[in-house]
Copies of this chain bind each other. A is one copy, B any other.
Amino acid sequence: MIYTLTCNPSIDYFLNVHDLNKGELNRAETVTLQPGGKGVNISRVMKRFGQDSVALGFTGGFTGEWITAFLNKEDIKTDFVQIDYDSRINVKLVGKEETEINAAGPRISNNNISKLIQTMERFIEGDLLVVAGSIHKGMQLSRIFQICKEKRIKLVVDAEAELLKQALFFQPYLIKPNQQELEDFFECSFSNMNDAIPYCRKLVNMGAKNVIFSMGSSGALYANKNALYKAYVPKGEVVHTIGAGDSMVAAFLTKIQLGYSRLAAFRFSVAAGSAAAYSEELCNKQSAFDLIGQVTVTKVEEDVN
């Protein structure tokens, strides 16, 4: 089974306000509620591709119940640890500009964390754990990674640089840094895809079995111990990029589970990421398939120096 871990799932409250006037009473034309959080997104996109998973993490209160009910209605299994505080609501104002107001997550006790660890103790060989998004400070990450190592659970990490560093020691199956995360990791900065190539190779040398690096419309890289590939993304108009990276991870893992090659999985992940960026929503099966013909993947030869 694939498990996704989201420490801090949210309700994302989208309000359509054409032009926000600060200091005044504004009226939203339409509103929608969506569950939020990277792991939750990955579970949702995988389900659209036909891949089951179990969403793990911490939820609480009436908002937590809503998140669980929403996922269950989409036929996604959940095994959240119940906490004593309401799961957060993040405000997304959509209009001429996109203004977001994120709330801090609720308090997670050591007891809550122990309960999560207990759930993980039931993992079996062949399972896969996706650790995605921000991680609670007291999370005993090394304990979690150790469980994965001992039980031969494939570990996928889609999170900030600090967490990537801790994860590499445990030879994660897949990591998916974005530009900010890669720059933070290596304390460098770069302006195009080629700059990122040596760093992706370094991540493989440091222990990552598969690396997907995405840089929006500039393209994406895929690296493993044998080779490095570059993908050119389909052309399109970016609507919003929330969930684009999550769609990439979901697409890659689904294809791998179905027995496709890693290169085919990478290609599909680029299509899925683009489909998400070019729509108002997370990508779905059809929108990803519509774009896959436009994804070009080329092998990057070893630098000659």
Residue interface bits A203-237, CB-to-B below 8 A is 1, else 0: 00000000000000000000000000000000000
Residues of B within 8 A of A100 (CB): 24-26
Cβ–Cβ contact B89 & A13, under 8 A: yes
Q: Which residues of B contact A26 (CB under 8 A)?
A: 99-102
Q: Let me know if A101 and B17 touch, CB within 8 A.
A: yes
| A104–B63 alpha-carbon span in the complex (Å) | 20
Knowing A62-B62, A62-B66, A91-B15, the reply to whether A104 touches B22 (Cβ < 8 A) is: no
B62 touches A27 (CB 8 A): no
Does A111 touch B at the CB level, under 8 Å?
A: no
With CB as the reference atom, state the residue of chain B lying closest to A31: B103
User: In the complex, which residues 1-41 of chain A have their Cβ closer than 8 Å to any Cβ of chain B?
Assistant: 13, 15, 17, 20-31, 33
Asked if A28 contacts B101 (CB within 8 A), the reply is yes
Give Cα A236–Cα B65 distance, bound, in whole angstroms: 42
Closest to A20 in B: B22
> With a CB–CB cut-off of 8 A, which chain B residues contact A65?
62
Is A86 part of the contact surface with B, judged by Cβ < 8 Å? yes
A-B contact pairs, 25 of them (CB 8 A): A13-B89, A13-B91, A15-B101, A17-B101, A22-B22, A23-B98, A23-B99, A24-B100, A25-B102, A27-B103, A27-B104, A28-B101, A28-B104, A29-B104, A31-B88, A31-B89, A31-B103, A33-B86, A62-B62, A62-B63, A62-B65, A62-B66, A89-B89, A91-B91, A91-B101
Is the CB of A93 closer than 8 A to any CB of chain B? yes
- A301 interface residue per 8 A CB criterion: no
Question: Is A97 located at the chain interface by the 8 A CB criterion?
Answer: yes
CB contacts (< 8 Å) of A66 on chain B: these are: 62
Known: A33-B86, A88-B31, A89-B13. A21 touches B99 (CB 8 A): yes
Report A113-137 CB contacts with B as 1/0, cut-off 8 Å. 0000000000000000000000000
For residue A70, which residue of chain B has the nearest CB? B62
Q: How far is the CA of A89 from the CA of B90 in the complex (A)?
A: 12
Given contacts A15-B91, A88-B31, A104-B27, contact A22 B99 (CB under 8 A): yes
Cβ contacts A39-54/B at 8 Å (1 or 0 each): 0000000000000000
The docked-state distance in angstroms from the alpha carbon of A119 to that of B29 is 32
In whole Å, how far is A58's beta carbon from the nearest beta carbon of chain B? 17
A23: chain B residues at CB < 8 Å are: 97-99
Residues of chain B within 8 A (CB-CB) of A102 are 25-28
Contact of A101 among B27, B33, B103 (CB under 8 A): B27
Q: What's the Cα separation between A62 and B86 when bound, in Å? A: 13
